[in-house]
Amino acid sequence: MSKDIFVYIEQRDRVIQNVSFELIGEARRLVAVSGGNVCGVLVGNNIASLAKEVVANGADKVFVVDNKELEYYTTECYAQAVTAVVRKHSPNAMLFGASTIGRDLAPRISARVHTGLTADCTDLKIDEEGNLFMTRPAFGGSLFATIACPDHRPQMSTVRPGVMKKVEYDTNRAGEIITEDVAIDATKFAVKIVEEVKETKAAVKIEDSKILVSMGRGLENNLAQVKNFATVIGGTVSCSRAVVDAGVWKSDRQVGQTGKTVRPDVYFAMGISGAVQHIAGMDGSDLIIAINKDKTAAIFNTAHLGIVGDATAIMPELEKEILARK
Ligand SMILES: Cc1cc2nc3c(=O)[nH]c(=O)nc-3n(C[C@H](O)[C@H](O)[C@H](O)COP(=O)(O)OP(=O)(O)OC[C@H]3O[C@@H](n4cnc5c(N)ncnc54)[C@H](O)[C@@H]3O)c2cc1C
């Protein structure tokens, strides 16, 4: 077994997903304690040219499985490719993004290599012997559980997007790119992709937005006003789960434990009470500004700036101030 930490490099339509770079950043911090290399595992069809990007984002090595069978993500095909690389190189740990693909793929691989998997982690620590301590919310976010996997390797975990920090992008960084020739057994495929239909998603992902204007149940009848406020200040509208459950705004805009983890420069929490499940997704934001009618609302314990009052009346005042200063 090596000391290396592997990161599954998730690409969709040959675009590497941000979470993979975040995980490389985290793996760098871990190997600084445990030793070993940070290695990306890049799988797909016609993707070899992406390996340089993985190195520039902090990987020491990239294992590339480039095979026409891997054009579309299917569980079996990708599981075969990644499992082969893991078996061959025996890393100490492997990290996946807790994305739809990562959540599907990671358990398959952990089962095939007979190890444990901690899903949806929000914090990782390692000791000098390479033991990984994986922390995740439990019991609806009311406590955090730290899980170790002392008897099996690799230690595996999925990590939520937006939680870990990337290292600085550096095209001068040196790294080794290794082509892995994996024989894919198509007779094992139970699923065949017949047609790919793409859902139109929000142009801006809330995880990538610098300014988020997040609305809660208190503003569920004021979506148009919130959208207008967000446009004026150059932000993106996100929301609490209450707003998604009410069918007012889309689930891919939900912040929190069962939504997205975000860390924008500025997070407006408007008409949001501040339940632990919501806080879990936004407390890493640089500046949190809460507006709530109720001065005892829990959100004020997390906010850096708090305004007590009716957000529908405060938004136009803020707009005027912000426009004047622009
Ligand atoms: C397992 C589990 C997972 C969950 N995951 C998530 C998650 O990912 N994300 C999430 O958000 N929640 C999640 N929840 C739900 C969470 O517990 C809360 O129910 C939810 O966050 C409440 O949303 P809210 O703050 O918008 O609504 P409320 O709690 O109803 O708060 C509304 C607030 O608006 C204020 N208000 C009303 N009118 C105005 C006004 N005009 N101006 C200013 N303030 C006003 C009120 O004072 C109140 O504080 C989860 C729950 C469970 C059990």
Closest CA to 22 of 223, 246, 184, 208: 208
pLDDT at residue 201 is higher than 70: no
User: What does the mean pLDDT of the chain come to?
Assistant: 94
Identify the band that residue 192 occupies on the pLDDT scale cut at 50, 70 and 90.
confident
CB 68 within 8 A of CB 90: no
Ligand 1 centroid distance, CA of 242 (Å): 6
Ligand 1 centroid distance, CA of 145 (Å): 24
Domain 5-188 and domain 206-325 have a common topology: yes
- Which atom of ligand 1 approaches the CA of 240 most closely? 11
Residue 296: the pLDDT is 97
pLDDT at residue 275 is higher than 80: yes
Question: Tokens representing 247?
Answer: 């069918």
The DSSP output letter for 254 is B
What is the share, in percent, of the chain residues with pLDDT greater than 90?
Answer: 84
Ligand 1 centroid distance, CA of 243 (Å): 8
Q: For ligand 1, say whether the CB of 218 is within 6 Å of any of its atoms.
A: yes
- Which atom of ligand 1 approaches the CA of 311 most closely? 42
The preferred substitution site among 253, 268, 273, 276 for testing ligand 1, maximizing ligand atoms within 8 Å of CB, is: 273
Residue 140: the pLDDT is 65
CB 128 within 8 A of CB 191: no
Residue 195: the pLDDT is 87
Residue 203: the pLDDT is 67
Question: Tokens representing 274?
Answer: 């501040």
CB 219 within 8 A of CB 116: no
pLDDT, one tens digit per residue, over 136-177 is 988 766 788 999 999 999 999 999 888 899 999 999 999 999
Ligand 1 centroid distance, CA of 83 (Å): 41
Residue 324: the pLDDT is 84
Identify the band that residue 197 occupies on the pLDDT scale cut at 50, 70 and 90.
confident
Q: For ligand 1, say whether the CB of 216 is within 6 Å of any of its atoms.
A: yes
Which residue has the least CA distance to atom 8 on ligand 1? 256
Q: List the chain domain ranges.
A: 5-188, 206-325
**Which residues in 101-134 are b (16+ Cβ under 10 Å) and which e?**
bbebbbbbbbeebebbbbbbbbebebeeebebbb
The preferred substitution site among 249, 260, 289, 292 for testing ligand 1, maximizing ligand atoms within 8 Å of CB, is: 292
Identify the band that residue 258 occupies on the pLDDT scale cut at 50, 70 and 90.
confident
Mean pLDDT of 247-270: 93
Identify the band that residue 76 occupies on the pLDDT scale cut at 50, 70 and 90.
very high
- Which atom of ligand 1 approaches the CA of 297 most closely? 49
What is the share, in percent, of the chain residues with pLDDT greater than 70?
Answer: 98
pLDDT, one tens digit per residue, over 205-221 is 898 899 999 999 999 99
Residue 325: the pLDDT is 82
CATH number of 206-325: 3.40.50.1220
Q: Which residue has the higher pLDDT, 143 or 53?
A: 53
Which residue has the least CA distance to atom 29 on ligand 1? 273
CB 127 within 8 A of CB 33: yes
Closest CA to 215 of 188, 235, 191: 235
Ligand 1 centroid distance, CA of 230 (Å): 20
DSSP assignment string, 54-99: HHHTT-SEEEEEE-GGGSS--HHHHHHHHHHHHHHH--SEEEEESS
Task: Choose the CATH number for 5-188 among 3.40.50.620, 3.30.700.30, 1.10.1740.10, 3.40.220.10.
Answer: 3.40.50.620
pLDDT at residue 3 is higher than 90: yes
Mean pLDDT of 113-136: 96
Residue 15: the pLDDT is 96
